[in-house]
Amino acid sequence: MKAYELVIFDWDGTLMDSAAKIIRCMQTAARHCDVNVPSADAVAHIIGISLKPAIMQLFATEDEQLADRLVQAYKEAYLHEDTIPCPLFEGAEDLLSALKAEGKTLAVATGKARRGLDRAWSNTGTGHFFTTSRCADEAHSKPSPDMLLQILDELKVSAGDALMVGDTTYDMQMAQAIGMDRVGVSYGVHAQVNLEKHHPETIVHSIPQLHSWLKGN
């Protein structure tokens, strides 16, 4: 297995176990805005896309005002109504620490807004592991490769020396679009069979398994 200079992680569903909270808060937002409450599976499918495009897709609407109301209701639910903290997946911090010790450069490409990622980093004490990051309010939404291209340009790393790790087809698609190797994780929100359609190097089923693969074991 090749040695990657740069490892880029998705956040929600890859390093942080946040899907359940995202689903609860999106369903709460729907109730507050008096629209049909989406199923858990439907919400899970749009996790990873930037918030407003995700909401417009989820609720099948082109009504900008409705989408804006749902965005605000979701944010209110996430910050103030559902106060259950989201944990990192087991082994995530150990993985990040080990990769840094091995000399890897680490980055994040996430559908979260900058404030959301900064809050997650503050809550988990993990921000220091990452050299850079791109968020939903700083780039075109996944599956556009814009986030990855910005990171590569900033760090002066070629796509061939980088790896994208994520739990959604959007992560796989954006890496595939620029010829970047990618690893899918099966413990997030998208089914393994859908990740496999985008020809990842491998599919891993846990954080420790990801670390083992990166070490070539």
For residue 127, which amino acid is it?
A: G
- Give CA–CA dist 59/30, Å, rounded: 9
**Residue 204: left (phi > 0), alpha (psi -120 to 50), or beta?**
beta
How much is the pLDDT for 217? 54
Active site residue 10: yes
Contacts made by residues 55-59, CB under 8 angstroms, sequence distance 24+? 55/26, 58/26, 59/30, 59/35
- Model pTM? 0.90
Strands 181-185 and 6-9: unpaired
Exposure letters 169-202 (e unless 16+ CB within 10 A, then b): bbbbbbbbbbebbbbbbbbbbbeeeebeebebee
How much is the pLDDT for 64? 95
Report residue 132: phi and psi, to 5°.
-155, 175
Bond before 143 cis per omega within 30 degrees = yes
How much is the pLDDT for 1? 60
- For tokens 């990769």, the residue is 99
Who's near 23: CB < 8 A, 6+ residues apart?
40, 43, 44
Query: Could you read off the pLDDT tens digit of each residue along the chain, which spans 217 residues?
Result: 678 999 999 999 999 999 999 999 999 999 999 999 999 999 999 998 999 999 999 999 999 999 999 999 999 999 888 777 799 999 999 999 999 999 999 999 999 999 999 999 999 999 999 999 999 999 999 999 999 999 999 999 999 999 999 999 999 999 999 999 999 999 998 989 999 999 999 999 999 999 999 988 5
**Catalytic hit among 10, 146, 167, 171:** 10
Active site residue 12: yes
- For tokens 């297995």, the residue is 1
Helix residue ranges, H only, 33-63: 40-46, 51-58
Q: Max alpha carbon distance in the chain (Å)? A: 51
Task: Name the token pair of 18.
Answer: 């946040």
Question: Can you tell me whether residue 88 is helix, strand or coil?
Answer: strand
Exposure letters 116-137 (e unless 16+ CB within 10 A, then b): bbeebbeebebeebbeebbbbe
Is residue 92 within 8 A of residue 15, CB to CB? The reply is yes
Question: Can you tell me whether residue 175 is helix, strand or coil?
Answer: helix
